[in-house]
Amino acid sequence: MTKIISYNVNGIRAAMKKGFIDWINAANADIICLQETKAQPDQIPVFEFQEAGYFTYMHSAVKKGYSGVAILTRKEPDHVEIGIGIDKYDNEGRMIRADYGDVSVASIYHPSGSSGDVRQDFKMEWLADFQKYIDELKKSRPNLILCGDYNICHKPIDIHDPVRNAKSSGFLPEEREWIGQFIDSGFIDSFRYFNQDPHHYSWWSYRANARANNKGWRIDYNMVSKPLESKLQGARILPEAMHSDHCPIVVDINI
């Protein structure tokens, strides 16, 4: 069984100061997909990850201290693909993919639209282009595990206050519609596949003691393509990990 973790660390250097490497050693995952590394390649602790038993592959943003994704993996991939081939997104370090035989695992950081209309428009453009990219990719790589921060809650169960947040970026009708049709295009929300209970979140605001009161949003997903459904073994969220305003999410799969 392969244990895959996705984790928006909200700054890899900040996470390292909070004991992230000790957590990695204890978590004992086969693949760790990181988002929002906020680091240039020379600022990512490759040596420490190597000491923990991982190869490190990264895609940093051009802008320093911003965005960025990485994959830590115990097994060396056959191929690593950086970006999606569209400069305005690739300059922001949004996606990296590792291929293992006929299975691909990607770390993806979808844009946030919470800063205003310009970035919300950018987010919606990205979502449309991302869907096209994945539709095309599935033709040659049908076995996909797309891990990351999607910055969208799918359903009311995925957010602590769906009524008051109905007009908030991350829970807008058009975003929820997008993630619904993305799943319908051939993916499984692995956490919901195994768990239909409420009050499970992966991100909490730093404001108003939100995390202590579990007033959160579930915006991080390990999306598994339908051909891999029979391989799924389990999925869970790890809210006790405290290196970020997000927490790690896990999928166990026989690949």
Q: What residues are annotated to the active site? A: 149
Residue 100 phi/psi, 5° resolution?
-125, 105
Q: Residue 34's CB: how many other CB atoms inside 10 A?
A: 30
CA distance 105 to 114: 27
Residue in this structure with the two tokens 């950081």, named with its chain if needed: 109
> Residue ranges of the alpha helices (H) in 141-198?
173-184, 190-194
Provide the β-strand partners of residue 148: 108, 221
169 neighbors 175 (Cβ within 8 angstroms): yes
Q: Kindly give the interhelix angle for 173-184 and 117-140, rounded to the nearest 10 degrees.
A: 0
Give SS3 for 30.
coil
12 neighbors 34 (Cβ within 8 angstroms): yes
CA distance 164 to 168: 8
Selection from 111, 97, 176, 181 nearest residue 144 by Cα: 97
